[in-house]
């Protein structure tokens, strides 16, 4: 066995050290011999070796030849079995990581130390009154700390001569008393008295008059956080002249302030690994996600259409790497009056048979199932847990690697962060809007919806009376830092819109109008598709 070069030796020692391993000389030689099998994919092979070593029940972090040889033998055997010249195929499958809402870490912001810290104690599903207050406080503080870094709203470090037009510093509501002239305030829109809206921050509340306010794009509903410019009148009402949502912050700027904290839930990736994954992501030209919403299993016409879609993708040269099927999975609500669960279970089994009949899809594609607002589950509150096992176990007999996950859910593909959310949000946002949306920038309701959720850094900023949210799991609906892509499954017309670099799209309702979408993560391109009627 030829001795490894100095460069290879150094790379191996560094990579193993990053994973917490120390290599003995003979173990290093064994690892180098394994890498030599893959001259064109050394980095992939090394990562694969380290991933497998992580899974081994090792007695010590100091590795000898036997420990490495045992894992190498398994990998070589697997490689020969599938006749793959490189482990890239294996790494492409493992590039996809699905994150259930109920495992997303929760962080609180400390306004004194100006840092986030992780909540480590157990989160109760049935919270106490203080948890409801914490929900609003946490939402507000996430946006306030983001706003404090905005150049228009941050206080200058040195006293410079500023005109009143330049000074956009936020005034706390408590400090408004006795103030005259134009002021900027930030708060949550609340209806503390019937037909009288207030703006609340952490110091107090003030009644507001929005009748003559000039507004920015988006839906202004109760519970949304706004930045308002106006004047406190002698009657105690704050007359709003202009108002809008807190300005967005670039994703990279947000990440740089979080010091490696994992807000998304996919695990913290070291910088070196991020660079490698980013390179692989750009090369993954053939990877495609197909997203369908409203897949009614009890409707024969919908199932026939689904068969056509599956046949189409089964015959293409590179089959999609992921199919995302979102609810509702039944044409009528699965509520207390629903008595056909046994039938629905069998229909899931038939779907499993339908997928298994397309051998290429069964072998090379993953299937992800996300429940809809009217699907079976313990409650209508968000986030919703995955579909009950009783309904899905027949399908899993045919498709063992099918993934059943919460709504919303998150997917990490290499370095890319994608959020999936199935909710008829547009209709409810329009109904709950306090002011008709402006048509200055756009009159497209979907674009207003995207502006609302991204600026609010929250998937569902509706009043809790309109859409209940589990208080202790509100953080699962946050969009901070902003993800790369947001998929909003909605029964409204299919749409795609790129907003400040964030790709947002609605695949449409497959059962109602035969629409669906294909997404290429490599280029972030969305193809809105429909079957011909």
Long-range contacts of residues 336-345, Cβ cutoff 8 Å, at least 24 apart: 338/376, 340/298, 341/376, 341/390, 341/391, 343/298, 344/297, 344/298, 344/376, 344/391, 345/390, 345/391, 345/393, 345/394
The more confidently predicted of residues 33 and 320 is 320
Provide the pLDDT for residue 78: 59
Count of C-beta atoms within a 10 Å radius of residue 8:
17
Indicate if the pLDDT at residue 81 is higher than 70.
Answer: no
Provide the pLDDT for residue 153: 85
Indicate if the pLDDT at residue 80 is higher than 60.
Answer: no
DSSP state at residue 473: G
pLDDT, tens only, 284-315 = 999 999 999 999 999 999 999 999 999 999 99
> Out of 64-68, 398-402, 441-445, which region has the weakest mean confidence (pLDDT)?
64-68
Distance CA 198, CA 185 (A): 12
35-59 exposure pattern, b = at least 16 Cβ within 10 A, e = fewer? bebbeebbbbbbbbbbbebeeeeee
List phi, psi (to 5°) of 232. Answer: -80, 120
Cross-strand bridge partners of residue 526:
519
How far does CA 482 lie from the centroid of its chain? 9
Q: Is residue 462 very low, low, confident or very high in pLDDT (cuts 50, 70, 90)? A: very high
Average pLDDT over residues 423-445: 95
- Looking from the CA of 312 toward its CB, the CA atoms found within 13 Å total 11
DSSP state at residue 104: S
Q: Is residue 50 very low, low, confident or very high in pLDDT (cuts 50, 70, 90)? A: confident
Token readout for 1 is 């066995």
Q: List the CATH code of the domain at 6-81.
A: 1.10.8.60
Provide the pLDDT for residue 527: 97
Would you say 26 and 65 are in contact if contact means Cβ atoms under 8 Å apart? yes
Radius of gyration for the alpha carbons in the chain, expressed in angstroms and rounded: 26
Indicate if the pLDDT at residue 91 is higher than 60.
Answer: no
> Out of 64-78, 153-167, 343-357, 450-464, which region has the weakest mean confidence (pLDDT)?
153-167
Provide the pLDDT for residue 161: 45
pLDDT, tens only, 237-258 = 999 999 999 999 999 999 989 8
**Does the predicted TM-score (pTM) go above 0.85?**
no
Task: List all residues 6 or more positions away from 384 whose beta carbon is below 8 Å from its beta carbon.
Answer: 371, 373, 375, 377, 406, 407
> Out of 64-68, 121-125, 252-256, 504-508, which region has the weakest mean confidence (pLDDT)?
64-68
Handedness of CA 455, 371, 294, 531 (dihedral sign): positive
Q: List the CATH code of the domain at 128-258.
A: 2.40.50.140
Cross-strand bridge partners of residue 323:
290, 367
pLDDT, tens only, 265-287 = 988 877 667 878 888 888 899 99
Average pLDDT over residues 393-422: 95
Provide the pLDDT for residue 165: 53
Arithmetic mean of pLDDT over the chain: 89
Indicate if the pLDDT at residue 84 is higher than 70.
Answer: no
Would you say 86 and 44 are in contact if contact means Cβ atoms under 8 Å apart? yes
Provide the residue ranges of all domains of the chain, joining segments of one domain with +.
Answer: 6-81, 128-258
Provide the pLDDT for residue 397: 95
């Amino acid at each position: 066995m030829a001795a490894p070069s100095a460069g290879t030796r150094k790379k191996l020692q560094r990579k193993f050290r990053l994973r917490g391993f120390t290599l003995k000389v003979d173990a290093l030689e064994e690892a180098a011999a394994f890498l030599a099998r893959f001259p064109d994919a050394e980095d992939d092979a090394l990562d694969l070796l380290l991933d497998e070593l992580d899974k081994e029940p090792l007695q010590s972090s100091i590795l000898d030849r036997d420990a490495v040889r045992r894992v190498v033998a398994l990998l070589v055997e697997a490689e020969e079995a599938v006749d793959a010249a490189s482990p890239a195929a294996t790494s492409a499958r493992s590039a996809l990581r699905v994150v259930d809402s109920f495992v997303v870490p929760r962080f609180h912001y400390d306004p004194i130390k100006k840092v986030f810290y992780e909540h480590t104690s157990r989160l109760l599903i049935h919270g106490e009154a203080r948890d409801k207050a914490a929900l609003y406080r946490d939402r507000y503080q996430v946006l306030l700390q983001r706003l404090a870094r905005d150049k228009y709203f941050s206080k200058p470090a040195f006293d410079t001569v500023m005109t009143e037009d330049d000074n956009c510093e936020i005034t706390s509501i408590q400090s408004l008393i006795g103030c005259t002239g134009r002021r900027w305030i930030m708060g949550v829109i609340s209806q503390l008295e019937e037909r009288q809206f207030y703006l609340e921050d952490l110091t107090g509340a003030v009644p507001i008059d929005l009748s003559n306010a000039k507004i920015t794009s988006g839906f202004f509903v109760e519970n949304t956080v706004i930045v308002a410019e106006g004047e406190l009148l002698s009657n105690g009402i704050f007359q709003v002249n202009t108002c809008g949502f807190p300005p967005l912050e670039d994703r990279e700027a947000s990440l740089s302030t979080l010091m490696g904290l994992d807000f998304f839930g996919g695990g913290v990736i070291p910088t070196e690994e991020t660079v490698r994954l980013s390179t692989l992501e750009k090369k993954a030209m053939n990877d495609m996600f197909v997203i369908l919403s409203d897949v009614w299993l009890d409707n024969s016409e919908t199932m026939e259409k689904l068969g056509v879609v599956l046949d189409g993708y089964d015959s293409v040269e590179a089959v999609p790497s992921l199919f995302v099927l979102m609810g509702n999975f039944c044409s009528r609500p699965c509520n207390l009056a629903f008595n056909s669960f046994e039938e629905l279970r069998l229909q899931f089994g038939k779907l499993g048979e339908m997928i298994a009949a397309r051998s290429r899809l069964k072998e090379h594609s993953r299937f992800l199932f996300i429940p809809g607002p009217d699907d079976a589950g313990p409650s209508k509150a968000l986030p919703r847990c995955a579909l009950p096992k009783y309904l899905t176990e027949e399908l899993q007999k045919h498709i063992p690697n099918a993934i059943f996950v919460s709504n919303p859910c998150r997917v990490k593909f290499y370095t890319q962060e994608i959020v999936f959310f199935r909710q008829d949000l547009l209709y409810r946002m329009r109904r709950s809007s306090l002011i008709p949306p402006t048509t200055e920038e756009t009159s497209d309701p979907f674009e207003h919806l995207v502006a609302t959720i991204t600026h609010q850094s929250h998937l569902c900023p509706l009043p809790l009376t309109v859409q209940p949210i589990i208080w202790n799991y509100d953080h699962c609906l946050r969009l901070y830092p902003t993800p790369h892509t947001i998929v909003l499954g909605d029964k409204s017309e299919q749409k795609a819109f790129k907003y400040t670099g964030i790709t947002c799209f609605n695949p449409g309702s497959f059962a109602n109008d035969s629409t669906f979408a294909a997404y290429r993560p490599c280029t972030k391109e969305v193809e809105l598709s429909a079957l011909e009627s």
